[in-house]
Structure 1
């Protein structure tokens, strides 16, 4: 409804409050993406998912401008910001790839059924702290 009010498709008059809210949203999103650009220096950022598909085409240029304005010059000059092509199921597709990535990381071998499950790093770290507290008083 907000997007329709800000950019009516029937040639009607745009609601100025809705347009300002979406412009501010594009600025905040651009500032957040700029932080990611500064920290990770990615080559490409893809905007997607259901929200990205709704807002992206109309506001991608504004988000891109704000990102480049807030990011450091060197990483900003190397990043491309575009619309993702996986559609609204991008998160689902990404999550489905996680087991495949683990399988390929093991060289395409299955985990033996009788092998113990690896202890998660957070549990091992917590276990070490608890053991230190018990022994030290």
Structure 2
């Protein structure tokens, strides 16, 4: 999938946003959410591989998405002297533009200081075409907020979501000054419960 998290100085105001379901193409591909033209229908790992297959690409069978995406990147950007797979290359270049257009929406809406791309697929793809994504993001966004934002790869690796979740209880602990939460005072039992207890056979 394709998601985003908005991080603010006040951690409690940060939130997840359904960025992957912004419309990037009217009457476009059907997304797994049921709508048409979502960013995720063009930039998600599953849809990337589907588009490569539909265009005649040789998607390896019997492998997981991570292995298949690595094969697609290797086909588009071969390390040896062999020719690049033009279908894989075209799909990836188009995806870079869709991602850039999607980032421009975030830039225009939230005017962030920094955008970090993460997740196993984002990091795998970003190492190859981050400059193209940046270029498209700037070209589609409003000039003023686009001049103030940087687009980089995250540094926490593919497990950034897990690391972030693990930090939440620590952040809560430190917000309380390292103290355990105060016990919740017991409230008096409602009258109906007391009455039932008194009528119960002994």
With the length of structure 2 as denominator, give the TM-score of the two structures. Answer: 0.53
Q: How does 1:1-137 map to 2 (within 5 A)?
A: 1-114=71-184
Cα drift, residue 99 of structure 1: 2.0
Greater RCO (CA < 8 Å, at least 6 residues apart): 1
| Aligned-partner SS, 1:33 | helix
CA distance in 2, matches of 1:107, 1:39: 35
CA deviation profile, 1:98-126 (whole Å, cap 9, x unmatched):
2223334445443234358xxxxxxxxxx
Structure with greater Cα Rg: 2
What's the C-alpha RMSD, in Å, of the aligned pairs?
Answer: 1.8
* Structure 1 residue ranges without an equivalent (≥5): 117-137
Cα drift, residue 24 of structure 1: 1.1
CA distance in 2, matches of 1:14, 1:56: 18
Cα drift, residue 42 of structure 1: 1.0
CA distance in 2, matches of 1:83, 1:115: 47
CA distance in 1, matches of 2:178, 2:145: 35
- In terms of fraction of residues, the more helix-rich structure is 1
CA distance in 1, matches of 2:144, 2:177: 37
Length, aligned pairs only:
116
CA distance in 2, matches of 1:41, 1:49: 22
With the length of structure 1 as denominator, give the TM-score of the two structures. Answer: 0.76
Cα drift, residue 14 of structure 1: 0.5
